[in-house]
Amino acid sequence: MSAAEQNVLILPGDGIGPEIIEQAERVLRTVADKEQLNLNLDHALVGGAAIDATGGPLPAETLAKAKAADAVLLGAVGGPKWDGLEMARRPEKGLLGLRSELGLFGNLRPAILYPQLASASTLKPEVVAGLDLLIVRELTGGIYFGEPRGEHINANGEREGFNTYRYAESEIRRIGRVAFEAAQKRNKRLCSVDKANVLEVTVLWRNIMNDLAKEYPDVELSHLYVDNAAMQLVRAPKQFDVMVTGNMFGDILSDCAAMLTGSIGMLPSASLNENGQGMYEPIHGSAPDIAGTGKANPLATILSVAMMLRYSLDAATAAQRIEDAVSRVLDQGLRTADIASQGETAVSTQAMGDAVVAAL
Ligand code: IPM
Ligand code: MG
């Protein structure tokens, strides 16, 4: 008897989204076939694609399907075509709305350097060789969602923009727990990143992390201010095991960490809620400048499929198969433009997908 069917909702989005999703979906179908997983794949619109078709970035139908799914796989959203829209109607609101509506507060962003790509990083190979760090980013709070927000005319009659950086204790605690538990499964070192020398909200953040540390005596907790953390990430990134931080600092530091690994085109992510339901996406954006040229690296999305199998679909063996296949393809010397060193010929998005499917 086969296992109960699991529903995966696929949201290609904009820019390179559809191209990378196409390859990731082939990989998912191939591995599902080989591992006899009972998956039902469905598709829906989000971001600019949804704006064009329905007028809004997160149609009710997409949200309903996402809520009902066991996991969501997303490409990327946004592009110059929609940049002129007011904030509430932009493609990014589709993504932020999904994160918020599904309660996906725990964002895991691993940055692993594949030894085959040590020379693709702009940092010296000895600085990045062996890098394996995990950024745990709070994803549904902080300045991204804080109210009040907007633009008004201030007391001087000037236009003024404003956002609010706030975190409730419960929000800090639950992301802290995700991070401590992740550290327990790794090298048991956790660095919490804040700006407690300036921002009250992060003084609370730091105090709560210290509080939680008492419940995880096997994990060594340290703290860094975000400016120093950014510097340390490029100076000596291997000092880190797990980093935990708020929404905006996590956004910035994870792009920085991505470049340590050679290319943002390599990094997957998982965004989880309390029930283990998750959304999986590459950490890069929609790269409108290369959309349709076949240059995009599909590996971040393919590796996001692996995270989805592991964290939401209870298929760790299938996840491992994908990760091994990616490693083998890199061994074979296949490189998309973003990870090709000088003199190496770059392969297309499709050719990279073909190679991973073949390696499976
Ligand atoms: C990310 C992206 C998003 C973010 C954008 C597209 C809204 O940069 O997932 O890191 O800022 O969270
Ligand atoms: Mg980002």
What is the 332 CA–ligand 2 centroid distance (Å)?
A: 30
Structure tokens at 74: 């997303």
Query: Residues of 30-47 as b/e, b for ≥16 C-beta within 10 angstroms?
Result: bbbeeeebebeeeebbbb
Out of 227, 289, 324, 331, the active site residue is 227
247 CA: nearest ligand 1 atom: 12
Share in percent of the chain as helix, strand, coil (round to 5) = 45, 20, 35
Q: What is the per-residue pLDDT for 119?
A: 84
pLDDT band for position 159 (50/70/90)? Answer: very high
- The burial class, CB within 10 Å (0-12 / 13-18 / 19+), for 168 is exposed
Residue-averaged pLDDT of the chain: 96
144 is catalytic: yes
**DSSP symbols for 187-212:** TSEEEEEE-TTT-HHHHHHHHHHHHH
Asked whether the predicted pLDDT for residue 256 surpasses 60, the reply is yes
Identify the residue with better confidence: 205 or 117.
205
Instruction: Label residue 273 by pLDDT band (50, 70, 90).
Output: very high
Q: Which of 95, 138, 140, 248 to mutate to test the pocket of ligand 1 (most atoms within 8 A of CB)?
A: 95
- According to CATH, where is 3.40.718.10 located in the chain? 1-105+267-360, 132-260
Q: What residue type is 300 in one-letter code?
A: A
Question: Does the beta carbon of 264 sit less than 6 angstroms from any atom of ligand 1?
Answer: no
Tell me the per-residue pLDDT of 322-347, one tens digit each, with 9 for 90 and over: 999 999 999 999 999 999 988 889 99
The answer to whether residue 311 is catalytic is no
Least confident among 50-54, 124-128, 314-318: 124-128
Both tokens assigned to 133: 């760090």
DSSP E strand boundaries for the chain: 6-13, 39-43, 71-76, 106-112, 132-138, 150-153, 159-162, 189-194, 220-225, 242-245, 268-272, 278-282
Report the distance separating Cα 175 and Cα 195, nearest Å. Answer: 17
Beta strand 106-112 with 242-245 is unpaired
Q: What is the mean pLDDT of residues 127-146?
A: 96
Q: Is the pLDDT of residue 117 over 70?
A: yes
Give, using CA atoms, the residue closest to atom 11 of ligand 1.
Answer: 251
Extract the tokens encoding 1: 């008897």
Q: In angstroms, what CA-CA distances link 101 with 104, 218, 272?
A: 8, 34, 12
Q: Which of 65, 70, 93, 144 is catalytic?
A: 144
pLDDT of residue 2: 56
Atom 4 of ligand 1 has which residue's CA nearest to it? 251
What's the whole-number mean pLDDT along residues 34-61? 98
Is residue 302 a contact partner of residue 326, using CB atoms and an 8 Å limit? yes
Name the residue at shortest CA distance from atom 8 of ligand 1.
251
Q: Give the separation between CA 187 and CA 240, rounded to whole angstroms.
A: 9
Which residue is associated with the tokens 């954006």? 285
Residues 6 or more apart whose Cβ sits within 8 Å of residue 158: none
CA-to-CA distance for 342 and 323, rounded, in angstroms?
26
Residue 1 pLDDT greater than 80, yes or no: no
pLDDT of 148 over the 90 cut: yes
Write out pLDDT tens, residues 176-224: 999 999 999 999 999 999 999 999 999 999 999 999 999 999 999 999 9
Catalytic residue among 70, 194, 251, 338: 251
pLDDT in tens, 280-322: 999 999 999 999 999 999 999 999 999 999 999 999 999 999 9
Encoded tokens for 281: 């996406």
The listed range with the strongest mean pLDDT (3-7, 85-89, 241-245) is: 241-245
The pLDDT score that the predictor gives to residue 242 is 98
Fold of 1-105+267-360: Isopropylmalate Dehydrogenase (3.40.718)
State pLDDT tens for residues 88-111: 899 999 999 999 999 999 999 999
- Mark whether 251 is an active-site residue: yes
In degrees rounded to 5, what are phi and psi of residue 134? Answer: -125, 120
- Spatial distance between the Cα atoms of 298 and 1, rounded to a whole number of angstroms: 34
Question: What spacing in Å lies between the alpha carbon of 255 and ligand 2's midpoint?
Answer: 6
Query: 3-state secondary structure string, 104-172?
Result: CCEEEEEEECCHHHHHHCCCCHHHHCCCEEEEEEECCCHHHCCCCCEEEECCCCCEEEECCCCCCHHHH
CATH number at 132-260: 3.40.718.10
Has residue 26 got a pLDDT over 80?
Answer: yes
138 CB less than 6 Å from ligand 1? no
